Amino acid sequence: MSLAQTLAIWAVPVLLGITVHEVAHGWVAYRFGDSTAAEAGRLTLNPLPHVDWLGTLVLPLAMVASLGVAMGWAKPVPVDASRLRRPREDMAWVAVAGPASNALMLIAWAGIARLGLALDSEFGIILFAMGQAGIVINSVLMLLNLLPIPPLDGSVVLARWLPPELGRKWLEFGRYGLILVLGLFLVGSLYGFIGKPLIAFIGAAHQLFGLPWMGS
């Protein structure tokens, strides 16, 4: 498989993964009364409005070239909690929507991988590889975003169950949280913390859908 094919195989699941994740946040916020994302043109499956050029392109490519692994982020969809009908409760649902969308996409990519296995052709091989990439990408996006570290989605869910003042202070830590998450990733601590559970989860997903996996 050529380098161009490999890049295309991973690019499609990555762009879809981050795009649908952000649209899910904005769509749920819209359903709960906040049209900020819609007004900003972010309720679109066009990936360009969701791309953060540093976090989505420059940093991941640099990390792959130098470290062989990557971490990145998309441009956060704007949400105005004051426009939600029940700000604390609704913000938790808005946060959960992102990882939930990745879970649904994981299932969809597993179906594509099964289709690829059924096709005895080069196109089938590409479909299978893309399906595997989709499972991996969406597993990472789902599990990583569920960590309760600001500004990850899990922190918003945690804040919902903390006393209001403590929850507010915890979310304010988000201005430093991304630096902390990136630092932990670069020194290996974050990968060491979630690496084995992540690999186990991806392996279990392949087994559940009857798919062979290169990590097994």
Domain boundaries, the chain: 3-208
List 22, 89, 122, 165, catalytic entry: 22
Tell me the two tokens of residue 56. 């989505």
Angle at 208 between CA 205 and CA 209, to 5 degrees: 90
Tell me the two tokens of residue 93. 């649902």
DSSP-H helix ranges across 32-86: 36-39, 59-67
CA gap 172, 66 in Å, rounded: 32
CA gap 177, 186 in Å, rounded: 14
Contact 81, 104 (CB under 8 A): no
180 has a pLDDT exceeding 80: no
CA gap 122, 119 in Å, rounded: 8
Residue 172 annotated among the catalytic residues of the structure: no
- Give the pLDDT score at 44: 95
158 has a pLDDT exceeding 80: yes
3-state secondary structure of 149: coil
181 has a pLDDT exceeding 80: no
Average confidence (pLDDT) over 179-204: 70
Helix (H) or strand (E) holding 187: helix 174-187
Reported as a pLDDT band with limits 50, 70 and 90, residue 177 is low
206 has a pLDDT exceeding 70: yes
- Displacement of CA 137 from its chain's centroid (Å): 7
From the list 131, 136, 148, the residue with the least C-alpha distance to 199 is 136
Contact 110, 211 (CB under 8 A): yes
pLDDT tens for 10-68 read 888 888 999 999 999 999 999 999 999 999 999 999 988 998 877 777 666 665 555 45
pLDDT tens for 83-139 read 999 999 999 999 999 999 999 999 999 999 999 999 988 889 989 999 998 998 898
- Give the pLDDT score at 70: 56
Contact 153, 98 (CB under 8 A): yes
Question: What's this model's pTM, rounded to 2 decimal places?
Answer: 0.87
Alpha carbon distances (Å) from 189 to 124, 175, 182: 37, 20, 10
- Give the pLDDT score at 196: 75
